[in-house]
Amino acid sequence: MFATAIADLSHGFGVAFQPHNFLACLVGVLMGNLVGVLPGMGVMAAISILLPVTFSMPPVAAILMLAGIYYGAQYGGAICSILLNLPCHPPHAVTCLDGYPLTQQGKGGTALGITMMASFVGASFGITEMIFFAPVLVRVALKFGPPEICSLMLLGLLAGSTLTRGSPLKGVAMTTLGLTLGLVGSDALNGTERFTFGLLDLADGIDVVALALGLFGIAEFLKSVNKIVPLHASRAKLRLRDMRPSRADIKAASIPMLRGTIIGSLCALIPGTGPTIASFISYATEKKLSKTPERFGRGAIEGVAAPEASTHSAVQGDFIPTMSLGIPGDAVMALLLAALTIQGISPGPQLISDHPDIFWGLIASFWVGNILLVVLNVPLIGLWVKLLTVPYKYLYPSALFFVCVGVYSTNNDLFQVGETLAIGIAGYVLLTLGFHPAPILLGFVLGPRFEENLRRTMLISRGDFAVFVERPISAVFLALCVILIGTQIYLKWRKDSVEEPSAPAPIFDS
């Protein structure tokens, strides 16, 4: 198993180092890094704006670039948190707690240096986990029939909607809404037009780019306009020398870094618990294990190292269920999966054997991308900090234009731009009512496949729902669903007695 992994991986590096793939990866991580530091731009918006551009690219390059945006943004988000106390991206909200005090003490450079080390360690572990774990998962998943796939999807959807931030009930509502939006268009089985309300333009369903840009672009602009406080560029200059952590810092941070990595990789294996939850758990763990917990919140280097390692390890691990089972754990993964589908590649356990270029190329590109990020970030940090001061009044009109052209160019259809606007307004209403839009996308992407497998299951079982509990693997997934719901009810019941770790609320959802 080890030898084949090495052989596959070297094949992957061959793919990742092909000039156009390398370029795609570089552009991806740079874009990601950029949107990571820009206030008011989310990962989701960036990926969906660039999605139409990737249609004309070969599938491997397209997926490397889109994935690069995702993990590149994590590096950018950490810079925001540490230097400016701005939790631009939810996973890094907890990094503010100790990162910003370190900056105030003049040790911001050290914190960034440690962050980069932690990110790299965490990411490397996450990637290794993927190399060994994904093929095992595939071998199991290839035995799945429609009932197992159904139950697994149900588990994924439930986890994706209840384990994210906010009320679990509202999460379930949004997932179901997403599933419903996925119904729009012709029924795959018999061609009946559903929920098109007589509009011919809706016969092919709602476009995933229009949905994503409406929810994460337009709705965010409507929410943020005149609400973002302009920043003042009065930061002390960072020099390269400042970023090299001292030996004492490295020693203090190394064990927490490893603990964070492991917590992150475990969180990645549980569907629905993405990087945000991983970083919160690892911060809380460090604080609990520390002999001097009172230092936390006042610039403890462990409080930066552990959550950052954890975030990055979880980000890479997020790809495991997506690439090996075809079941995305969150909205970003759902969008990547949609990108693959648009490229004509059907996601699922057969992906690794059918398209080894994509799978192993992607894994190798993670390493290439992470090294690029570390190398690029050192000289570019000054530039990123300057970019942070770009006022929102310039940012959102430009972004709005890119959204318009981006949606138009998916199908050369202005109707879809209107669709995006309508979805955006509806999305803003939902945001105002305290819903998080991410589960909508998850449900939307999984919806058609969920219905198809449900119908097939019922056909096989002759209409007997008991098939889901009679087949052992399916029964396990359903039991996990029940446990998940039970835990949520239990947590709600004793909510008053448990204090959640307090961090500045993330400005943006992604």
Partner 1 sequence: MKPFARVSRDHYAGGLVALIGLGTIAQASRYDLGTREMMGSGFFPMILGSVLLAVGVLIFVSAGRAAADRHEGNDLGAPEWRGWVCIIAGMSLFIFLAERRGLLPATFACVFVSALGDKNSSFKSALVLAAGMSVLGIALFSYGLKIPLPVLNW
- Which residue ranges make up the site for partner 1 (CB under 8 A)? 53, 167, 169-170, 172-173, 176-177, 179-180, 183, 187, 189-190, 192, 194-195, 218, 221-223, 225-227, 230, 391-394, 396-398, 400-401, 403-405, 408-409, 412, 414, 417-418, 420-421, 425, 429, 431-435, 451, 454-455, 458-459, 462-465, 505
Minimum CB separation of residue 255 from partner 1 in Å reads 35
Residue carrying structure tokens 């057969």: 350
For the bound state, the minimum distance from the C-beta of residue 229 to partner 1, rounded and expressed in Å, comes to 11
In the complex, least distance from residue 81 CB atom to partner 1, rounded to whole angstroms: 19
Question: Which lies closer to partner 1 via its Cβ, residue 217 or residue 256?
Answer: 217
Instruction: Name which of 350 and 398 has its Cβ closer to partner 1.
Output: 398
For residue 432, give every residue at least 6 positions away whose Cβ sits within 8 Å of its Cβ, in sequence order, or none.
223
Q: Are 341 and 347 in contact (CB under 8 A)?
A: yes
Q: Which is nearer to partner 1, 37 or 184 (CB)?
A: 184
**C-beta of 465 vs 490, nearer to partner 1:** 465
State in angstroms the smallest separation of the CB of 267 from partner 1: 25
Residues 378/127, Cβ–Cβ less than 8 Å: no
- Name the strand (E) or helix (H) holding 332: helix 331-342
Torsion sign (Cα): 249, 250, 256, 260: positive
For residue 448, the minimal CB distance to partner 1 (Å) is 10
Identify which of residues 182 and 307 has a Cβ nearer to partner 1 in the complex: 182
Rounded to a whole number of angstroms, the minimum distance from the CB of residue 56 to partner 1 is 8
> Residue 233: helix, strand or coil by DSSP?
coil
- Phi-psi bin for 235: left (phi > 0), alpha (psi -120 to 50), beta? beta
Q: Indicate the residue type of 458.
A: M
Please give the biggest Cα pair distance in the chain: 70
Instruction: Pick between residue 92 and residue 170 the one whose CB is nearest to partner 1.
Output: 170
Q: How far is the CB of 380 from partner 1 (least distance, A)?
A: 22
- Residue 112: which of 238, 287, 258, 261 has the closest Cα? 238
Q: How many CB atoms lie within 10 A of CB 255?
A: 14
Nearest by Cα to 2 from 128, 139, 138, 143: 128
Residue 160 beta carbon to partner 1: minimum distance, rounded to whole angstroms: 15
Listed as own residue / partner, the contacts of 284-290 with beta carbons closer than 8 Å and 24 or more positions apart are 284/501, 285/259, 286/256, 286/259, 286/260, 289/259
Considering beta carbons, is residue 142 or 199 the nearer one to partner 1? 199
- Residue with tokens 């029964």, as numbered in its chain: 475
Read off φ and ψ for residue 190, nearest 5 degrees: -130, 5
CA distance 349 to 155: 17
CB-wise, 156 or 321, nearer to partner 1? 156
